[in-house]
Chains A and B, each alone.
Chain A
Amino acid sequence: MAIQGAQQMLKNIGCRYLDLFSEFRYAAGFFYRSIVAVSQYFYRPQIGHRVITMQLLFTGVEALALLALIALALGAVIIIQGMSVLPQFGQGSLIYRILIMVITRELGPLLCAFVVIARSATAVSTELGHMVVSHQIEAYVATGVDPVRYLAAPRFIGITLSMLILNVYFNLFGLAGSYLLTRLFQPIHFTEYFHNLLIFLRTTDIVSTLLKSFVFGLIISHTAVYNGLKVQQSSTEVPQRVIKAVVQGFSLCILADAVITMIYYL
């Protein structure tokens, strides 16, 4: 009896892992198809340009206000805190290093990713999930339109591009905007601040931050689109899939962040 129970347990564990493995393989295949579709998108005439525009509008433009607020607050806090502590050690110039490290290299891409996941990944998953449930995806297939190319690719491009652009804006607001905000409390010389910032800013910082937001963009769009299209029949699956998209998006982004940072310091 006990042996049978153990066998059953082993079988269950095995099945679970096989399922997990096959799901991973399926997701990887879907990712590959999406990337192929994205690359085809640029040289094959398509009707989906408007989808990219709208995706940029919803994911990029509309998230700008929130991200600007976060960036301004973060930058100002770093400047004010750093200025009150660091000059006491004669290390006032460290403030620029810290600003660049926190805003440009680490938190910029990550906070953009969080905001985009919260705002857009959920929206995309919900939209696509509902499209599956109401057979709109099948309607596209029946019309001869590949849903991966027509629905997934523009969302991939839109979200990834939005991530890149939002990251640039986040840095602008975090580094430049916060300077103006800080000026209200403490006087900092304009040219000195920006000159030093530009001296300390390295191309590797810019490459690293853009690489991160690009990778995060791919991750977010993939998890959002994949989970949205993974809905099968009922509308109750939609919220479950949205939650999965958010959780997977967050965890994969943090994982990718760690990996890229490690590569940067290798």
Chain B
Amino acid sequence: MEMRLQEVDFYYGSRVVLDHVDLSIDPGRTTVIVGASGSGKSILLKVLAGLLPPHRGRVLWDGKNIFDLSQDEEVRYRKRSSFVFQDAALWSNRTIRQNVEFPLQVHFPELSVQQREEKVRYYLDKVAYQDSIEYRPEQISAGERKMVSLARALVTRPKTLFMDSPLTDIDATSVEGIKSIIKKLHSERRTIIACFVDPEFISLMADDLIVLHRGRVLAHGPFHQVKKSSDPLVRGVLAMVLNEVTAYDDDILDLLNSEEQLL
């Protein structure tokens, strides 16, 4: 599924969060959005995923504006995509089992209760969730919630996955398990659009890189190409995110830091 953003603006009140964003994402590739905190990564991800309507511009999935789709069309698209939220965003009025089961109920109503139950257990095992599945989200730890939210995203076997910092809040032992799941998805050539903070994992996973700075896309392209960019701002962001500091970049880093403070 090809995704395009055309002239997208997004504001929070008078603050510009996304400024004339224009990009397209190729299917079957893992695209990582990088930028300093507050640069608009999460918003960009949500606008791309069609969760937040932009104040200007269009979000196209296979050439169609995601916000103009009919109910049935939207459901079809949603069946093929999933979103992992930074704060897990589990439905607090449902148990863990119900949380994972719900997308199945929506998209696969033909499945029997038993089949659904099996799938739920399979994916919860896969993310190494070990507590009772009848707990409510507030009864488990933040790390476990993150795992459950990953299971909820994977349960429908989506072709496109949006991940907003999926590895934060998770303890070290679980991180490896989740990393391996993402690696597997990557190897299956699913479209992944994600924000990661782990520099090593970005280097390992990213096919494409989007460099975001104060709501503007500074660079977008294959990872190695962007990494070689001569734009000082791009280099500065990458230096910060990927811990690749060069003597040349020192001034830029100062510049960026002062700009961050201004934000």
Please list the residues of chain A having a beta carbon within 8 angstroms of any beta carbon in chain B: 45, 47, 130-131, 134-136, 138-146, 232-233
For the side of the interface on B, what is the size category?
Answer: 20 to 34
In the bound complex, CA of A45 to CA of B106 (Å): 11
B61 within 8 A of A: no
Contact A136 to B49, CB < 8 A, known contacts A142-B83, A144-B79, A146-B71 = no
B223 within 8 A of A: no
* Beta-carbon contact of A135 and B78 below 8 Å: no
**Closest 8 pairs between A and B when the two form their complex, measured CB to CB:** A144-B78, A135-B89, A142-B83, A139-B89, A144-B75, A138-B51, A143-B103, A135-B85
Which label, helix, strand, loop or mixed, suits the secondary structure of the B interface? mixed
B105 within 8 A of A: yes
B95 to chain A, nearest CB (A): 13
B80 to chain A, nearest CB (A): 10
Q: Contact mask B94-123 → A, CB, 8 Å, 1/0?
A: 000000001101110100000000000000
* Beta-carbon contact of A142 and B102 below 8 Å: no
A49 to chain B, nearest CB (A): 12
Enumerate chain B residues within 8 angstroms of A144, measured Cβ to Cβ.
74-75, 77-79, 103, 106-107
For A233, give the chain B residue with the smallest CB separation: B12
Please list the residues of chain B having a beta carbon within 8 angstroms of any beta carbon in chain A: 12, 46, 49-52, 71, 74-75, 77-79, 81-83, 85, 87, 89-92, 102-103, 105-107, 109, 162
* Beta-carbon contact of B91 and A139 below 8 Å: yes
Complex A-B: 9 CB contacts under 8 Å: A131-B92, A136-B90, A136-B92, A138-B51, A139-B91, A142-B81, A143-B107, A144-B74, A232-B12
**A131-B91, A139-B83, A146-B71 given. 16 additional CB < 8 A pairs?**
A45-B109, A47-B105, A131-B92, A136-B92, A138-B83, A138-B85, A139-B91, A140-B91, A141-B51, A142-B49, A143-B78, A143-B107, A144-B79, A144-B103, A144-B107, A146-B74
Enumerate chain A residues within 8 angstroms of B51, measured Cβ to Cβ.
138, 141-142
